[in-house]
Amino acid sequence: MAIKGASCIACPMDPVLRAVTGRWTTTILWHLSTESPLRFGELMGLMPEISAKVLTDRLRMLEKNGLVLRTQKPTIPPEVSYEMTEHGRDLHQALRALHEVALKWDAEGWVPGQGFPDTPVTQAAE
């Protein structure tokens, strides 16, 4: 008889979560999952608050993990575009499900850090 939940200690969730979640990562995947290919500048435009450095870092990481494909045309000025790989597209269902949750919670009046209208407010001690 397995210990409650113990069967998942060594399941492959953790490494996958590290690769596809985290600051900006999931947002980038969501955009590329919704419309591909997207150019570097277009991604910047879709995420006005990300910096070029972080976007580059994330795209490199996703590329290394085989989830995103980078295509460069050697024109002047250069034209670089990104799209999901075949494997990356496996995330489509999960991303769509997350998007639906986002729409639902938004409609229900969810506020980041405060929860839903029916979430009990924890009193701040004086």
Partner DNA sequence: GTAACCGGTTACTAAATGGTAATTACTTAC
Partner DNA sequence: GTAAGTAATTACCATTTAGTAACCGGTTAC
Residue 20: helix, strand or coil by DSSP?
helix
User: Are the C-beta atoms of residues 59 and 83 closer than 8 Å to each other?
Assistant: no
Rounded CA-CA distance 85/6 in Å is: 33
CB of 14 or CB of 108, closer to DNA = 14
Beta partners for 73? 79
Q: Does 15 bind a copy of itself (CB under 8 A)?
A: yes
Q: Which of 15, 41, 66, 109 binds DNA (CB under 7 A)?
A: 41
- Which of the stretches 27-35, 52-60, 88-96, 105-113 binds DNA when contact is defined by CB under 7 A? 52-60
Residues 56-85 that bind DNA (CB under 7 A): 56-57, 59-60, 70, 72, 76-81
CB of 75 to a copy of itself, least distance (A): 20
Length of the chain counted residue by residue: 126
Binding mask 95-114 for DNA (x = CB under 7 A): --------------------
Residue 57 in contact with a copy of itself, rule: CB under 8 A: no
* Total residues in contact with DNA, by rule CB under 7 A: 24
Among 30, 49, 28, smallest CA distance to 40 is for: 28
Residues 28 and 26: their CA atoms lie apart, in Å, by 5
